[in-house]
Structure 1
Amino acid sequence: MIILDVTVMNVALPRIRDDLGFSATGLSWVMNSYTLVFGGLLLLGGRAGDLLGRRRLLIAGVTLFTVASLAGGFADTPATLVAARIAQGLGAAMAGPSTLALLTTTFTEPRARMRALALFSGMASAGFAIGLIAGGLLTEWLSWRSVLFINVPIGALISVLAMRYIHEPERHPARLDLLGAATGSAGAAALVYGFIRAASDGWRDGYTVGSLVAGSVLLGTFVLVEARTAQPLLPLRLFADRNRAAAYLNFFLGPMAGMSMFFFLTQYLQDVHGYRALSTGFAFLPMALILFGTTRLIPVLLPRFGPKPMAVSGALLMTTGVALLTRLGVDTGYAAGLLPSMLLMGVGMGLAFAPLNVVIMTSVPPADAGAAGGVLQTMQQAGATLGLAILVTVFGAASRDAAAAGAAPDHVLLAGMTDAFTASALIAATAVLVALSFRREHGADGGTEPA
């Protein structure tokens, strides 16, 4: 539900603009307000779950997310909808890390835990594509408001079942690192805002530069605070293990490369091939299905091969899939041109990134599970946001050059997409290099031991 809400609104944006009277620039905040709060507060949400109770924070976060979805569905002004999206982001930041930590502490037997974490990864990864499908279905059959209302029964069911079936794990009484919370959350939010601003206003914009500089300084301060705090918000020992550190880095690089497929192919299918919103969503269904199917094999493959061969082969497949997209043309068909890339990306992402959940979450002590989950989701969110900002900048420069040369609108779009997919392939290739740094080890836990 949390990941799906990142993309489910994309398809509904034109209807929202017409109904509520958003300006062209203001419309972007329907997406950015959620991303900004969600990405900026994940670290705090993860550590708060460790200290205050993960079950409690999960239920509180899901309840807030559900109420905010209901309020957003009834919004009659742009400000009301953006406020509801901010509240959704806060609820998601509370519930997301606690979800991952609860899976880790609930399933104590290694193989059962691996299956649970692999299923979690498959649901989260498939959520991006399913969001496009669900958004298209609900927007075309009902209205854009139903995209928010659908969260209400799901969220209510989660809360009821969580209260009945989920047991609160052992809490670790401690003081919340308030200085770390302030500097870390503000720094992450400033960086996310800077990336968002770069995508819309360019890297030379004063607010872009100021936000990125402020975010970097705040995060530098945050690291110094964490190194000297007895009970840190982010235990730096999480990065002491080589496999875990490499997994975190690839959780940053993977979404950077993968976001290009969703963002640019959606435009390509609609603007060049004339797909409707619903047809565009279903075009991504094969990739979602094969990605989910691949993650179901992780509990079998990971103990046998370890993280290194899977991460390397997955990143290579992902790089190949993105590289093939650089050959798209105006007349490229779906079956011959797009489908092979989508299938390669689906298998590649499943092999490369589903094991990373297991590598990270099975090698941390239970007291740090919430913090570890918060860092994981922060890396994923920041990678997606930064990747989109970089790729949109590359796209804009190439498309402007093509337009200045007198190219037709379709060719202008393709020129920008080709350069963006080239940059995306280079990012994916970097993930291959990081994957090569994994230790070649075997074991039921994916080849890692606690640092």
Structure 2
Amino acid sequence: MMLFTKTNITNTTKAPKWVILVVFCLAQFIDVANLSAVNISLPTIKTELHFSENQLPWIVNAFTLTFGTFLLIGGKLGDKYGHKRFFLIGLLWFSVWSLVCGLSQSVILLCIARAMQGLGAAATIPNALALIQFTYTEEVEKSRALAVFSSSGALGFGIGLVLGGVFTATIGWKYIFYISAIMGVLVAVVAFFVIPESSPELRANVKLDIAGAITITVALLAIVYGISDGRWSSVPVIISLVLGILLLLAFVWIEKKVVSPMLPMSIFRTRMFSAMLVVGALYQTWYLVYNLYCTLIFQEVMGYGALNTAYAFFPLAFPGLILNPLAGHLIPKVGAKPLLMLGTGCMAISAALFAVADADTGYWPLPFPSMCIGEIGIAMTYTSAMVAALTMAKSGEHGLNSAVFSVAMQAGSGVGLAITNAISEAVINSTGSHLKGYQVGLWVGFAVTLLCVLITLVFVPSKATLERKRLARAEAASERERVEDGENIEGYRNDIEQSPGKEKKDPMLETSFQV
């Protein structure tokens, strides 16, 4: 995927940078608000549409499954046919299927519509991230723009909680999807007039790796579906997992052979980028697990209604409006490593605090501090990991890095949530206690964030180390240029001395060499 510069974008609008960023933030807002609002309404949807215990996570899994597995294709199609075009297509597609979600009267139709929503998000988000990196080219302003982008997610999460609780308690959970559909169309209309498009000449040079696209998409679908199903001994699940692994190996082989690979293997040679992929996947796993099991404990164990649950989640949402920009401001000053250590540590503490709560626990002793500490962790971890992953991109790979990071987060968290659900359900079946199953799910969240702390400690260099490496690379490059210039001048001198003619005696030429 291409790196955008000021010379490869057709600037068809006169909109200032901040207006373009607001449009992208609104798209992020809609996606996250929809997800958080649905989480609040899960117990009500379970009752009204008669979901079983093992079917309920598929309202979330269906979205993350298609979102995570089609992100690479969404970004690559944007490179080939225009990021603006696919940003708009994604928004409109998401809106149409949001309407279908609201009209659903059955388990199957709702899950299919949620999967289709994921396809729309897969076209929207990577193209938004690529265009943000074009619009903001300086490292400091790029960090802050990405922090604002993540802040829109925090705002969406908070407002989604409130609207989800209000709608579920009053006019019904279906209005969560109706509002999402209306907002998606409105943002698409504004985006049509505001967002610039990439140059047709440069898009013509982008080649599509059809074999690689099909192989990686089917491989991820098979693996994530197989794990999400949770019936490890069933023949369909075994076939799905084996097929996914074989196709993943085939994809690696294809990418090494094709001239223009969809996912160059060289992108994983940067240790920090590879570490951020794992951290991103584990972070998103914690995020989904924490929200799901806290919601279930609030409503099914503590007896909270949908609206009170929304209020209970307030500390996990709105402080992000301040904390996310703060993280973006601090990264250029202190580096990503200390913020990642702080963030993932806070997430671990947050999960542990809620995991020991029970039916008799009041809100203020455990859930409230858990939410407050968790929000610090969310803001510091997500912003730091995203900025670290995207700013490590080499020239020409920024769009690719953004898509791969998003794939790691969504597909990885889909696998993580599925494994956690399987463990939680096994505990419920063996103990007969839903609370114990939900608590185990939160302890899994605690474990994955401790793993994030370890990965950050071992694989993420400090700001001082990165600066030393950058300086060493710059000095090495300067030395190579000096040596090459010297060799070129010496070679040119020899050519002239060995050739007959007047140039050999030219005093101006001799003077230039002496200089």
TM-score, normalising length from structure 1?
Answer: 0.88
Give the gaps of 5 or more residues in structure 2. 1-29, 475-515
Is contact 1:69-1:148 (8 Å) kept?
Answer: yes
Q: Deviation at 1:192? A: 1.9
Q: 1:128 to 1:394 in 2, by over 3 A?
A: farther
2:399 and 2:326 map into 1 onto residues whose CA distance is 26
Q: Which residue of 1 aligns with 2:223?
A: 191
**Equivalent residue of 1:364, what SS?**
coil
AA aligned to 2:443 is T
Q: Deviation at 1:260? A: 2.4
Is contact 1:441-1:448 (8 Å) kept?
Answer: no
1:264 and 1:111 map into 2 onto residues whose CA distance is 37
Matched, 1:247 2:268: no
1:13 and 1:391 map into 2 onto residues whose CA distance is 17
Q: Deviation at 1:93? A: 1.1
Is contact 1:361-1:372 (8 Å) kept?
Answer: yes
Of residues 241, 245, 256, the one that matches 1:212 is: 241
Matched, 1:263 2:285: no
Q: 1:299 to 1:439 in 2, by over 3 A?
A: same
Matched, 1:421 2:442: yes
Matching of residues 1-400 of structure 1 within 5 Å: 1-13=30-42, 16=45, 29-75=58-104, 80-124=109-153, 127-128=156-157, 130-170=159-199, 171-172=202-203, 173-198=205-230, 202-365=231-394, 367-400=396-429
Q: Deviations over 1:38-73 (max 9, x none)?
A: 222111112211222111110111111122223443
Q: Which residue of 1 aligns with 2:461?
A: 439
AA aligned to 2:326 is L
Q: Deviation at 1:208? A: 2.8
CA RMSD, 1 decimal: 2.8
Give the number of aligned pairs: 439
AA aligned to 1:434 is I
**Equivalent residue of 1:296, what SS?**
helix
Q: Deviations over 1:185-238 (max 9, x none)?
A: 11111122123211xxx4333333322222222122212212222211112232
Bigger mean CA deviation after superposition, 388-397 or 92-101? 388-397
Is contact 1:306-1:443 (8 Å) kept?
Answer: no
Is contact 1:303-1:442 (8 Å) kept?
Answer: no
Q: Deviation at 1:251? A: 0.2
Q: Which has the larger radius of gyration?
A: 2
1:74 and 1:419 map into 2 onto residues whose CA distance is 34
AA aligned to 2:301 is V
Q: Deviation at 1:361? A: 1.9
Is contact 1:60-1:94 (8 Å) kept?
Answer: yes
Is contact 1:63-1:159 (8 Å) kept?
Answer: yes
2:301 and 2:108 map into 1 onto residues whose CA distance is 33
Identity, % of aligned positions: 32
Q: Deviation at 1:176? A: 0.6
2:54 and 2:175 map into 1 onto residues whose CA distance is 24
2:358 and 2:58 map into 1 onto residues whose CA distance is 32
Q: 1:398 to 1:144 in 2, by over 3 A?
A: closer
Q: Deviation at 1:297? A: 0.3
**Equivalent residue of 2:370, what SS?**
helix
1:148 and 1:354 map into 2 onto residues whose CA distance is 28
Is contact 2:222-2:243 (8 Å) kept?
Answer: yes
Is contact 1:304-1:442 (8 Å) kept?
Answer: no
AA aligned to 1:253 is L
AA aligned to 1:66 is S
Is contact 2:39-2:291 (8 Å) kept?
Answer: no
**Equivalent residue of 2:172, what SS?**
coil
Q: Deviations over 1:231-269 (max 9, x none)?
A: 111122322222211111100111223322211111111
**Equivalent residue of 1:297, what SS?**
helix
2:112 and 2:283 map into 1 onto residues whose CA distance is 30
Q: 1:271 to 1:71 in 2, by over 3 A?
A: closer
Q: Deviation at 1:96? A: 1.5
Give the gaps of 5 or more residues in structure 1. 404-411
